Amino acid sequence: MKRTAILTLCALAVLSLAACSSKKPAAESYSANLSAYNHTEDYIHQFYVDGAGGGNSSPYGGGGSFVCCISYPAQWRPGLSATVEWTTSSGIPGDRRPEAIKPTWHKRVVPIDRYDVPGSTLNVHFLSEGDVRLVISSKGSGAKGYPGPDYPMKPPSWKR
């Protein structure tokens, strides 16, 4: 009887440990692809978010292509930001001004928009006046329910 009780207690202890070890810990961070949306008339030659390279983007275009990867926290918090660096030159055909031909570097520390649900892509929106917006989402710009800016639109005056 004593032996059966000891074996039963041992079996319960093993089962308890097995149940604890099968639980996955909550993720501390996630990985996201980078995708650019260019809302300007400038050509973006290359961009980086916290050192991760993101490719290029034509004027008034973007999305559709992804570069892997950047890590971000599972839980958004106030003050969460990333450093964005990029080069531009004029995307206007025939613009021969020296500053239009030579790529110019820009750098900004940009807050990451609030997210409640982790997403698969960090969408980098290059806006006018050198502003940048960072949106983590599993949707792309222009999709229903996308929390960021609309897809870039060429102004009627844009001749390309």
Q: Is the pLDDT of residue 134 over 90?
A: yes
4 within a domain of the structure (yes/no): no
- Measured in degrees and rounded to the nearest 5, phi and psi for residue 49 equal -120, 115
pLDDT tens column, 64-119: 667 788 999 999 999 999 999 999 988 777 788 887 788 889 999 999 999 999 99
Comparing CA positions, the residue from 17, 123, 11 lying closest to residue 66 is: 123
23 within a domain of the structure (yes/no): no
pLDDT tens column, 23-33: 555 679 999 99
- The percentage of residues in the chain with a pLDDT greater than 90, rounded to a whole number, is 61
What is the residue-wise DSSP string for 51-113? TEE---B-TTEE-S--EEEEEEESS--TT-EEEEEEEEEE-STT---HHHHS-EEEEEEEEBP
Q: Is the pLDDT of residue 49 over 70?
A: yes
Q: Is the pLDDT of residue 147 over 80?
A: yes
Tokens of 123: 């969408």
Q: Which residues pair with 104 in a beta bridge?
A: 88
- The distance in angstroms from the start CA to the end CA of the chain is 90
Give the chain's length: 160
Comparing CA positions, the residue from 71, 65, 78 lying closest to residue 49 is: 71
9 within a domain of the structure (yes/no): no
Give the count of domains, the chain. 1
Instruction: Determine the structural domain holding residue 44 and report its residue range.
Output: 28-137
Angle, alpha carbons 44-45-49 (nearest 5°): 80
Mean pLDDT of the chain: 84
124 within a domain of the structure (yes/no): yes
95 within a domain of the structure (yes/no): yes
